[in-house]
Amino acid sequence: MPITPENLVRHELIGLKVKVKDSPDRTVKGISGKIIDESYNTFKIETSKKEKIVVKGINTFIFTLPDKTKVQVDGKLLISRPEDRIKKKIPRW
């Protein structure tokens, strides 16, 4: 199943380009790069300079899909283990 804006939350996110759009933490706001790892509550993002660990729940992300579509997602929707999130039924967001 191809990744679309509608199924992004239930899809594998490792390998996607991401940007932190909004964050209460000034040090992570604006970070962009590729997701290289994911845990229950964090993303590891590879930037041009180094790897940064970013908390999911307090941030808003903009994901760039393979077809160059940009999708904004509240990090609270992404909190869970990746393997559980893929199986989880999520209401239309």
Of how many residues is the chain composed? 93
Which CATH architecture does the domain made up of 8-87 adopt? Roll (2.30)
For the chain, what are the domain ranges? 8-87
* Residue in 78, 73, 75 with CA at minimum distance from that of residue 25: 75
Residuewise pLDDT in 10s, the chain (93 residues): 789 888 888 889 999 999 999 999 999 999 999 999 999 999 999 999 899 999 999 999 999 999 999 999 999 999 988 888 777 666 655
Q: Do 57 and 76 contact (CB within 8 A), yes or no?
A: yes
